[in-house]
Amino acid sequence: MATDTIHIPGIDTPVSRVALGTWAIGGWMWGGPDDDNAVRTIHRALDEGISLIDTAPVYGFGHSEEVVGRALAEKPNKAVVATKLGLNWKDEKPFRDSTPARIRKEVEDSLRRLRVETIDLEQIHWPDDKTPIEDAARELQKLHQEGKIRALGVSNFSPRQMDIFREVAPLSTIQPPFNLFERTIEKDILPYAKKHDAVVLAYGALCRGLLTGKMNSETTFPKSDLRSADPKFQSPNFANYLAAVDGFKKLADARGKSVMAFAVRWVLDQGPVIALWGARKPEQVSGINDAFGWSLTDDEKKAVDDILARHVPNAIDPTFMAPPERD
């Protein structure tokens, strides 16, 4: 199995450069859970050579972590598990909360739900402007020293916020949105990761299914699906994005690859990056290995930029996903 791997500082075992993303498995904002199918999906990903699973408490308010814990208990292996913290919720409405007390509680809850003694990678999900970053980092460093966490990361942080974090604790990973359509991190986050030897976990590598090539102009989303609030999936933007996907598909076809594998390979070619491949059904994991063992040519990279300039000259960032600060 031609799985590309990368080393995350603080974790002894190299991990696959495609990780399984489990937001949809939690059910919340994705039309509800399907646990048996989710467990089969995780097992299928492991069979395909995926050795990193990324989850978070807010994905189904603990449910995704519980399903991941169940799946790994049913099929013991050496998978590395990344989770997150720093969000709280009331009536299924998340808000940011990185207070030290909340951090410690979330770690204990995640250990229980995941059925592990140590969390491989713990990440602050979103910066909390009402809690000093150094306070959050200091609590995470304590938990690391207690042996409850192996490596630390952040998600959706700016370079300045990461500088503050790094003054207190080591930073192994950075998790921002990154895909063919959402490329803001090329300006600052990606250079920062390279400079400071951090690994980027690119979430939304398939842009919430847009880059699977399985959507068309008739595709719709219920209100329970977060894509119903994503302007990319609304008219007239949706047609422009679909036209770009058609262009990418032609490039992929010429390579004998799926558009999914092409999109993920583009992400992997940008630097020290792990692409998160979200799935909730076993068949959605099919084709992961097609992203390994090759790279885009310079001509293909230029063709990608030309397609984007033609169809999506003003890309839309996924700011709609940002949770509010706490009251």
Residue 195, domain member (yes or no): yes
pLDDT at 2 over 60: no
d(CA 156, CA 56): 14
Residue 75, domain member (yes or no): yes
pLDDT at 29 over 70: no
Residue 169, domain member (yes or no): yes
pLDDT at 282 over 50: yes
Q: Which residues pair with 89 in a beta bridge?
A: 94
Which CATH number does the domain housing residue 109 bear? Answer: 3.20.20.100
Q: What pTM does this model have?
A: 0.94
Residue 278, domain member (yes or no): yes
Q: How many domains does the chain have?
A: 1
pLDDT in tens, 66-111: 999 999 999 887 799 999 999 998 888 899 999 999 999 999 999 9
- Domain, as residue range, for 60: 5-210+264-294
* pLDDT confidence of residue 1: 47
Residue 247, domain member (yes or no): no
- Set 59, 192, 203, 241: catalytic member: 59
Residue 132, domain member (yes or no): yes
pLDDT at 325 over 70: yes
Whether 59 is catalytic: yes
Lowest mean pLDDT among 7-11, 30-34, 97-101, 249-253: 30-34
d(CA 175, CA 201): 5
d(CA 243, CA 315): 14
* pLDDT confidence of residue 77: 77
Residue 92, domain member (yes or no): yes
Q: What residues contact 308, with CB distance under 8 A and at least 6 apart? A: 180, 181, 244, 315
Residue 193, domain member (yes or no): yes
